[in-house]
Amino acid sequence: SQQGEEDPQALSIQEGENATMNCSYKTSINNLQWYRQNSGRGLVHLILIRSNEREKHSGRLRVTLDTSKKSSSLLITASRAADTASYFCATNAGGTSYGKLTFGQGTILTVHP
Amino acid sequence: SQTIHQWPATLVQPVGSPLSLECTVEGTSNPNLYWYRQAAGRGLQLLFYSVGIGQISSEVPQNLSASRPQDRQFILSSKKLLLSDSGFYLCACKGQGSAPNTGELFFGEGSRLTVL
């Protein structure tokens, strides 16, 4: 079963606006990761935040993690049409999990030019 | 840098036919390898993972099997396909230089299987 659940399922915005996607999970984690998938393509890793971190930035991406609420958010600032894609959160349990990731259902982001 | 090759990219097969999807990795050695399946419009489900040659762990009981005959080769198979096997199959490995049990995954471009 999928641990991560993204919210919203779909998001439509105009270029230049910010996009915020949320992810909730159920069990304890070592880290949480966000991935991007263009239609019909493989997933591309965007950012990883460890369980002892609260916020992380990478370019126009900002990720927050609240382990007490078991939730994370991904903010894309000043969105571009090229940001149109599906975004997935994935959790890693660490330990003897052998690097397995549990993915959420994803948020479909559409950025209109 | 590492590269994952998956083939075929697209496959249309009749119910009851066999399946073989292949994944090969370049640019890294002794990687953890993973097969994920993605149903249309949904998230990824982990099917199998492997930490070494001949070592396969199954995550869900199903009609599929996996093998790892070489360090950088991972194969997904079925003897008789079901309609429910349709989906987008993604091979992944640990990112080069990433922590073995906690780092990011690097994905191939996927194989889209349609069972009719």
* Chain A CB within 8 Å of residue B54 CB: no
Q: Measure CA B39 to chain center.
A: 14
B contacts of A103 (beta carbons < 8 Å): 36, 43-45
Q: Any idea which of A4-8, A18-22, A50-54, A76-80 has the lowest mean pLDDT?
A: A4-8
Give the model's pLDDT for residue B99: 73
Give the model's pLDDT for residue B101: 73
Return the CA Rg of chain B.
14
* Chain B CB within 8 Å of residue A38 CB: no
Task: Tell me the C-alpha to C-alpha distance, in Å, between residue A66 and each of A19, A29, A46, B12, B42.
Answer: 19, 11, 19, 44, 24
Full pLDDT tens readout for chain B, 116 residues: 789 999 999 999 999 999 999 999 999 888 999 999 998 878 899 999 999 999 999 998 788 999 999 999 999 999 999 999 999 999 999 876 777 677 889 999 999 999 99
> Does the pLDDT at position A1 exceed 90?
no
The fraction of chain A above a pLDDT of 70, given in percent, is 96
A contacts of B104 (beta carbons < 8 Å): 33, 45, 48
> Does the pLDDT at position A5 exceed 80?
no
> What residue type is A62 in one-letter code?
R
Report the residue from A44, A48, A99 with minimal CB separation from B101. Answer: A99
Q: Average pLDDT over chain A, rounded to whole?
A: 93
Whether residue A2 and residue B106 make contact (CB cut-off 8 A), yes or no, is no
Model confidence at A105, in pLDDT bands (50, 70, 90)? very high
Give the model's pLDDT for residue A6: 82
A contacts of B42 (beta carbons < 8 Å): 105-106
Report the residue from B4, B95, B101 with minimal CB separation from A45. Answer: B95
Going by C-beta distance under 8 Å and a sequence separation of 6 or more, which residues neighbour residue B73?
B22, B23, B24, B25
> Does the pLDDT at position A3 exceed 60?
no
Report the residue from B90, B101, B107 with minimal CB separation from A98. Answer: B101
> Does the pLDDT at position A2 exceed 70?
no
* Chain B CB within 8 Å of residue A104 CB: yes
> Does the pLDDT at position A32 exceed 80?
yes
Cα–Cα distance for residue pair A29/A64, rounded to 1 Å: 14
Phi–psi pair at B86, nearest 5 degrees: -60, 145
